[in-house]
Every structure is written in structure tokens, then in C-alpha cells.
Chains A and B, each alone.
Chain A
Amino acid sequence: MNLEAVAPLSDTMGILGLGMLGIFIVTAAIIIVITLLNLITSPTKKSKHS
């Protein structure tokens, strides 16, 4: 993109859509990773047999 020129509305709306989509994709990846980390690293509870 030409950084020195004024971007037309169609371009900036495209950036808006792709930008938010990109952030949500990265966010989703981070959420999955946190969930997996919590599952993997949480101490397993051993049941007590008396």
C-alpha cells in the first residue's frame, strides 16, 4: 500500500475487517494454548482409598 497517499474507504474498511479478524485469530490461538497449558500442568487429583 502507498503509505504517503490517502487510502480510499474501501481499503481502510478492508484493513478494519482483516485487522479485527487477525486479532481474533491470534486471540483464539492464545486461548487454546492457555487452556491446554492449564490442562497439562494442573496437578492431577489422586483419589484416596482407605
Chain B
Amino acid sequence: MWAIGGILIYLAIKKDMEPSLLLPMGFGAILVNIPMSGAITQIIDGAKEIGVLNVLFDGGIANELFPLLLFIGIGAMIDFEPLLNNPKLMLFGAAAQFGIFATLVGASALGFPLKDAASIAIIGAADGPTSIFVANYLHSNFLGPIIIAAYSYMALVPIVQPPIVKLLTTKKERLIRMEYTGSSVSQATKILFPIIVTVIAGIFAPRSVALVGFLMFGNLIRECGVLGSLSETAQKVLANLITLMLGLTVAANMQASSFLTLQTLMILGLGLVAFIFDTAGGVVFGKVMNLFTKKKVNPMIGAAGISAFPMASRVVHKMGLAEDKTNHLLMHAAGANVAGQIASVIAGGVLLSLIVK
């Protein structure tokens, strides 16, 4: 496990892969695997000595507090304007959640109990806090590997997505231009949007309301125009602090006895499957959409429908420029990308609603 911790630290520093999370996780993996480590709860001479990481786990992850607080910060960071300007982009966010449910089928076929299969599947949300929330809600035995897979693949989006997009699209499709007419979204829409989305998600998928609500609360702080200081604090201080705690605390679940198993390898493989099917879902949806609409969409923006923000939209933008230096898809991809953020949270809530009865 020390080697795995070292690899995570290496990837964070040298490869810049989600360093704010992988570095604390890597260090934590070393910390908890020191024999008789005082950082985690131990039974010594029959007496239970509580470790600080277990205290943090019980206080921040077991009750879902950390991922929810992190969502306030994420909500404050997101500008929904590209989506509000072109609401049909929301469909790409929905289509790109296909990987979650496809992976659920695969994980179950491989013999994982439903609670673990669903927790593994949610890696496809491409959304760390949602993965933590769902896996913890279902009391999955594989929280550590699931979180590592979720954040690792999010960092690997620029490597994972392009070959799939190229495989599923023709050159002609990748050259499709999409008109961007500029923004005409009013301040009132920006303020009402987070409130109404929370209510809608709450009505249709009540289990998602905490996730959606905290995300949208963060966005309301950003857009209301009178809480600039709070918005800045949520985006920077709160998000950084929680990320720091989250990374270290997750490591409490990375003890060698529970981590170095065949299941961990299977989870890493299934996580990749989830991302592949997410990307494919979004791209194929774009192609299908083109069969029925006059104004063609570039199906590549479907790949940006996953929640990994803003990596996925940057990948699509770069792929568009690689095909045609004058074809700028960024605003459309960004719209699909923030739609993916909302859709992934809703997908988490829908999944819980379907299996927890």
C-alpha cells in the first residue's frame, strides 16, 4: 500500500492528475498502513484507541457531510449561462449518464451485490462527491477503490475520451459547425434557475434533493449578486478545505487488508467501462439527434455531457480545433458539461430511488 500511496503522490505531482485529492489520498494510504498506525482506530491490549481519521470519517463521510459541503463550492464555481442560453444541451447531460446504468448491469453480472454494483456504477457519474455520497449511502464495502477510480478517470478524461469520440464519429460529423449567438440570459433567470431545479429534482427524485440542493445553493450564492464574498469563500476556502479533509479521510478505507484485492482491480476496470459508455452515450445521442433536427449538432459535444468539469468540454473544444482551426465548440461543450453536472447528481438520486425501497 505504501507503493500505491507513492504512485498516487507521483501521479498528483508529476502528472498533475487531480492533485488536490490524489496527493492527500496517497499520503493517507501510507499513513494508515504503518503497522499499528495511531491515525486509525486500533485495538491495543483489548482497549479501543480511536484514530483521528476514523473520527473524520464518521463526522464527514459516514454522514455525507463532506461531499455535500463540497457541492456548495462546486455550485459556486459553475456558470450555467451556456446551458441557460441553449437548454436543449441538457439532453446531452442526460444521455451521458448511460455509463452508470450500463456499468450497473456489468458489475452485477460479475457477481457484485446490488449495493456494491450500484456504488461502482456511480463512478460513471464522473463526479467525485456524488460517487462518495451514493457509495456511502449504500454502505458499500469498496468506498476507497471507488473514490480512487472516480477521481483517477476524471483526471484521465483527456486520454480516455478522444479515441472513443473518434471511433464513433465520422470526419464530416466532427467538422459540423454550431452557431453561437451570444448570451441573452437575464439575471432573473440565473437566480430562479437553481431554485426551480432544486424543486423539480426534489419532486421527481427526492433522494437527490440533498445533492442537487447543495449544488444549487452554491450556484444561488454566486448568481444572486449580493453575496460576492460568500461566493468567493465557497469557491476557494470551503472547497479547498473540504477537498483536503476528504482526501485524507478517504484513506481511512485504504488499509491493505481491504484494498489489495481482486475486487479492487475489477472496480478500476468497471470504472473505465463506465466512462467509456458515458462518452459513447452522449456521442451516439448527438448522432441520433441529427437524424431528426434541421440544425445539426456536432456529436462530439455529447462527450462533454459527462460531469467532469471543465475537462470534458476542453477535450471536445480541442478536438474540434484539431479538425478545423476555426471551429470553436467551447460554449456548446461547456453547456453540455454543466448539464452533465446536474444530470449526474440527478442520476445518483434516481439510482438510489430505484434500488432503495
On whether the two chains bind one another, the answer is: yes
In the complex, what distance in Å separates the CA atom of A13 from the CA atom of B108? 10
Main secondary structure of the interface of A (DSSP, over half): helix
In the complex, what distance in Å separates the CA atom of A31 from the CA atom of B343? 12
CB contact between A1 and one of B112, B197, B343, B355 (< 8 Å): that residue? B355
Q: Which of A1-50 contact B (CB under 8 A)?
A: 1-9, 11-13, 15-16, 18-20, 22-27, 29-31, 33-35, 37-38, 41-43
Most interface-central of B94, B100, B138 (chain A CB within 10 A): B94
A6-B112, A6-B113 as given contacts; A16 in contact with B189, CB under 8 Å? no
Chain A residues with CB below 8 A from B117, complex form? 6-7, 12
- Does B17 have its Cβ within 8 Å of any Cβ on chain A? no
In the complex, what distance in Å separates the CA atom of A38 from the CA atom of B196? 13
Write out, one digit per residue, whether chain B residues 191-209 have a CB within 8 A of any chain A CB (1) or not (0). 0110011001100110000
Residues of A in contact with B (beta carbons under 8 Å apart): 1-9, 11-13, 15-16, 18-20, 22-27, 29-31, 33-35, 37-38, 41-43
CB distance from B277 to the nearest CB of A (A): 11
In the complex, what distance in Å separates the CA atom of A3 from the CA atom of B134? 13
Query: Contact: A23 with B84, CB < 8 Å?
Result: no
20 A-B contacts, Cβ less than 8 Å apart?
A2-B114, A3-B138, A4-B114, A9-B109, A16-B101, A16-B104, A19-B100, A22-B204, A23-B343, A24-B94, A26-B200, A27-B343, A29-B204, A30-B90, A30-B342, A33-B193, A33-B196, A37-B189, A38-B84, A41-B188
CB contact between B115 and one of A3, A22, A23, A33 (< 8 Å): that residue? A3
CB contact between B94 and one of A12, A27, A37, A41 (< 8 Å): that residue? A27
The closest CB in chain A to the CB of B116 belongs to A3
A-B pair count, CB < 8 Å, reads 127
Q: Give the total of B residues in contact with A, Cβ under 8 Å.
A: 49
Q: Which of B6-14, B47-55, B239-247, B344-352 contacts A (4 or more CB under 8 A)?
A: B344-352
- Does B210 have its Cβ within 8 Å of any Cβ on chain A? no
Chain A residues with CB below 8 A from B196, complex form? 33, 37
Chain A residues with CB below 8 A from B339, complex form? 27
A1-B355, A7-B117 as given contacts; A20 in contact with B200, CB under 8 Å? no
Query: Contact: B138 with A19, CB < 8 Å?
Result: no
In the complex, what distance in Å separates the CA atom of A27 from the CA atom of B196? 13
- Does B105 have its Cβ within 8 Å of any Cβ on chain A? yes
